[in-house]
Structure 1
Amino acid sequence: MGMQQSAAPAAPAVAAEKASSAKPAITPKPQASAKSKKEAVKHGPLTTKQWVLAGIVGAFAALGLATAAVLIARGIAGIDGVESFMERYPGEYHLPESAPIGFPGWLAWNHFFNFFLMVLIIRSGMLVRHQKKPPAYWSSKRSPKVSINLWLHQGLDLLWLVNGLVFLVLLFATGHWMRIVPTSWEVFPNAISAALQYLTLDWPTENGWVNYNSLQQLAYFTTVFIAAPVAAITGYRMSAFWPKNMPALTKKYPIEVARALHFPTMLYFVLFILVHVILVFSTGALRNLNHMYAAQGSTDPAAYADNWAGLLYFALSLLVIAGAWLACRPMILASIARLFGKVSAR
C-alpha cells in the first residue's frame, strides 16, 4: 500500500517533464496589411496624389527660379556698361527700306492653318507614341498596312508640308522674308538686349505690325528654317513612304537617328507655341490678335487696341480646333480613312 501511494505522483511529474521538453507551438503570423489594402493606381511612375504633390512642389520651385532670374537680370541691367549696351542695342534693328509693313490676308489664313495642323499633329503623334494596340489599321494598293493613328499623323504631316510650301513661296514672292530672316549682324546683340529686357519684366516695345524684335526674329527663323525641315526629314525617314529598296541610303541614315531627333523637335514646337501664346496675350492681346487673325493693324502700336475682330476670329478658330481634336477618334477616323483605302481590325 505504501509503495503504491509513493508511485502515484510520479506519473504527472514525468508528463510535465515531457511537456517542458517539447517545442512550443508555432502561431501563424498575421498577413501584412499592405496586401489586404488595395494598391494605389499609378499614372506612369507616380500615383495621383504623388503627381499633385510633385506639381505643387514644381510650381513653387519654378516660381522661386523665376524670381531669382528676374532679380539677377535686374542687377545685371543696372550695371553702367550693360545700360550703355542696351541703349546702343534697344532690342531691334532697322529693316531694309524695301521690307513690307503689316500682315496680308494670306498670312493670316496660313497662320491659322499652321496652328490647326500643328495641334492635331502633336495629338496624333502622341497617340502613335503611346498606343499599345492600334484600334484599327489602314492600307491601300500603294501603301503598306499601318495603324490608323499613324495614317492620321502622316496625312496631317502631308497637309502641313503643303501649307508650309505655300507659305515659303508667298513669303519670298512678297518680300515678307525680311521680317523673319536676319539681314544684319546686329540681330545678335539686339537679341541679347531683348532677352535681358524680358527677364527684367521691363519688356521691349511691341509693334509686330512694323518690325519684330531681334529675339522674336531669331525664334521665327529657327522655327521656319531649322525646326520645320528637321521635323519633315526625320518624319519622312520614320514614315511608310521611306524607300525600302535603297539599303545604302538606309544605312547612311538609320531610323534610330530620326527617332532621336523627331521627338525633341516636337517638344521644341510645343515650347514655341506655349511661349508664343503667352507673349501674344501679355503684350497686347487685342492688338496682336488683330494682326494675326484679322490682318488689321497700324504703324501706331496703340491703334486697334479696342477692336475685337481678331479675338472673335481667334475664338472661332479654337472651336474648330477643339472639334477636330475631339474628332480624332477611331470610329470617325475609320469612316474618313475608308475614303482613301481599306480599314481593317487587324
Structure 2
Amino acid sequence: MSTTGRQRSRGKQLAIAIPAALVVLVAVVLLARWLRGMEGVESFIATYGGDAPQPEAAPVGIPAWVGWQHFLNMFLIVLIIRTGWLIRTTQRPKAHWTAKRPGFLWGKRPQRISMDKWLHVSLDVLWVLNGLVFAVLIFATGHWMRIVPTSLEIFPNALSAGLQYLSLDVPSHSGWAAYNGLQVLAYFITVFIAAPLAAITGARISPAWKPEWRASTLVPIEAARKVHFAVMVYFVFFIIVHVTLVLTTGVLQNLNVMYAARDEVSWVGLGVFAASLVVTIIGWVLARPMFLSPIASMSGKVTR
C-alpha cells in the first residue's frame, strides 16, 4: 500500500474511532450517574469517600523537584511515544545512523539503524536516568508514601473516586495534602509497573541486546515487542486521562501544585506549564533528521 493509501486508511479509522469513543464515553457517564442514584451506591460512596489511607509520616505538599520532574517526563515521554510510533509505522526512513565505534548501547558490531530509532534510544536513556533520579528522591524524602498503597482500603476508595469522576461529580479532596485512592493506584502502576516494563522490554528489543545472552530465551523478542507496544498504549491512555482531569477539575490550582509547588489559585503554574509546552513543541518540530544529523554525526555516521 502506498503512503497516501495508508494515510487515507488511518484517516478513515480515526473518523470512525473518535465518534465511537465519544459515544462510549457518554454511555459510561450516563451509567455512572444512574448508579449514583441507587441507594446502595450512595451509601458505599458515603462510607468510602475516595481518600487514600496513608502513613502518618507521609509528607504534605509537593516539593519543587516534582515540578521539574513533571516537565522532564512530559518532554521525554511525548518524544519517546512519537519516535516509537514512527519506528513502528515508517517503512522507508529518511536517514540512518551507524556508530563510529563499538559501545554499550550499540554492541560490538554497530548496526545501521534509522534516525528515529537512534533518537528513540537516546531519549530512552535520558528517561531512564530521570526515572532513577526520581526513584532516589521519592525514597529519600518519603514522597513514596503518597503514591504507594499502604492499606487494602485503597481499593474501595479508588472505586468510589472512579464513580465520582465518571458521574462528573469530582471527588472533594486536596491533591496538595494527599492523592485520592484512584490517583494513588494510577501513579503506583505508572511508576512501579509500567515504567520498569517499558525500560526492560525496550532494552530487550534495542540494538544493545546481545542475542547470545541467556535471558534471550526467557524473554523472546516478539513477546517483548508486544508488551512494549502495550505499555505505550497505556501511557497514551494515562496521559489523555491525566491531562483531561487536570484541565477540568480546577486547572489553575492543579497546575500550581504540579509545576509551581504552590497550594493556591494563581497563574504561576499555568505560566510554567505553558513554557514547558512550548519547549516540548519545539522539541517535536526539531526531532527530524535535518536538525538531528549534526548531533548524531558526533557519535556516528549519518546516511540516507
Q: Compute the TM-score of the two structures, normalised by the length of structure 1.
A: 0.80
Structure 1 position 140 matched with structure 2 position 100: yes
Q: Residue in 2 aligned with 1:313?
A: 272
Q: How does 1:301-340 map to 2 (within 5 A)?
A: 304-305=264-265, 307-340=266-299
* Residue identity matched to 1:257: A
Contact 2:53 2:154 in 1 (8 A): no
Q: Residue in 1 aligned with 2:131?
A: 164
Q: CA deviation at 1:94?
A: 3.6
* Structure 1 pair 141–64 and aligned structure 2 pair: CA distance change class (3 A): closer
Q: What SS does the aligned partner of 1:343 have?
A: strand
Q: What SS does the aligned partner of 1:46 have?
A: helix
* 190-199 or 70-79, larger mean C-alpha shift: 70-79
Q: Residue in 2 aligned with 1:249?
A: 215
Number of equivalenced pairs: 293
Structure 1 position 42 matched with structure 2 position 5: yes
CA deviations on 1:51-87 (whole Å, 9 max, x unpaired) are 68536xx52x444433332232222222222222111
Task: Give unmatched runs, 5+ long, in structure 1.
Answer: 1-40, 298-303
Q: How does 1:168-207 map to 2 (within 5 A)?
A: 168-207=135-174
Q: Residue in 1 aligned with 2:238?
A: 272
* 126-135 or 269-278, larger mean C-alpha shift: 126-135
Q: CA deviation at 1:228?
A: 0.5
Q: What CA distance in whole angstroms lies between the structure 2 residues aligned with 1:315 and 1:187?
A: 33
Q: Compute the TM-score of the two structures, normalised by the length of structure 2.
A: 0.91
Q: CA deviation at 1:291?
A: 0.8
Structure 1 position 111 matched with structure 2 position 70: yes
* Residue identity matched to 1:273: I
Higher relative contact order (CA closer than 8 Å, sequence separation 6+): 2
Structure 1 position 93 matched with structure 2 position 52: yes
CA deviations on 1:222-249 (whole Å, 9 max, x unpaired) are 0001100111111000001112332x32
Structure 1 position 150 matched with structure 2 position 117: yes
* Structure 1 pair 326–183 and aligned structure 2 pair: CA distance change class (3 A): same
Contact 1:101 1:209 in 2 (8 A): yes
Q: What SS does the aligned partner of 1:42 have?
A: helix
Q: CA deviation at 1:124?
A: 1.1
Q: CA deviation at 1:332?
A: 1.2
Contact 2:52 2:184 in 1 (8 A): no
* 158-167 or 288-297, larger mean C-alpha shift: 288-297
Alignment RMSD: 1.8
CA deviations on 1:274-319 (whole Å, 9 max, x unpaired) are 110000010111001111111111xxxxxx22x1011011111111
* Structure 1 pair 148–192 and aligned structure 2 pair: CA distance change class (3 A): same
Q: Residue in 1 aligned with 2:302?
A: 343
Q: What CA distance in whole angstroms lies between the structure 2 residues aligned with 1:171 and 1:198?
A: 27
Q: Residue in 2 aligned with 1:24?
A: none
Q: CA deviation at 1:269?
A: 0.4
Q: What CA distance in whole angstroms lies between the structure 2 residues aligned with 1:79 and 1:47?
A: 42
Q: What CA distance in whole angstroms lies between the structure 2 residues aligned with 1:66 and 1:270?
A: 17
Contact 2:53 2:150 in 1 (8 A): no
Q: What CA distance in whole angstroms lies between the structure 2 residues aligned with 1:53 and 1:158?
A: 36
Q: What CA distance in whole angstroms lies between the structure 2 residues aligned with 1:62 and 1:330?
A: 35
Q: CA deviation at 1:337?
A: 0.5
* Residue identity matched to 2:16: A
* Residue identity matched to 2:242: H
Q: What CA distance in whole angstroms lies between the structure 2 residues aligned with 1:333 and 1:132?
A: 20
* Residue identity matched to 1:214: G
Q: What CA distance in whole angstroms lies between the structure 2 residues aligned with 1:53 and 1:218?
A: 33
Q: Residue in 2 aligned with 1:30?
A: none
Q: What CA distance in whole angstroms lies between the structure 2 residues aligned with 1:213 and 1:245?
A: 46
Structure 1 position 220 matched with structure 2 position 183: no
Q: What CA distance in whole angstroms lies between the structure 2 residues aligned with 1:117 and 1:240?
A: 20
Q: Residue in 1 aligned with 2:81?
A: 122
* 153-162 or 259-268, larger mean C-alpha shift: 259-268
Q: Residue in 1 aligned with 2:199?
A: 232
Q: CA deviation at 1:45?
A: 6.2
* Residue identity matched to 2:126: L
Q: What CA distance in whole angstroms lies between the structure 1 residues aligned with 2:269 and 2:83?
A: 28
Q: CA deviation at 1:47?
A: 8.2
Q: CA deviation at 1:115?
A: 0.7
Q: What SS does the aligned partner of 2:302 have?
A: strand
Task: Give unmatched runs, 5+ long, in structure 2.
Answer: none
Structure 1 position 81 matched with structure 2 position 43: no
Q: What CA distance in whole angstroms lies between the structure 2 residues aligned with 1:126 and 1:46?
A: 16
Q: What CA distance in whole angstroms lies between the structure 2 residues aligned with 1:113 and 1:47?
A: 30
Q: What CA distance in whole angstroms lies between the structure 1 residues aligned with 2:15 and 2:295?
A: 42
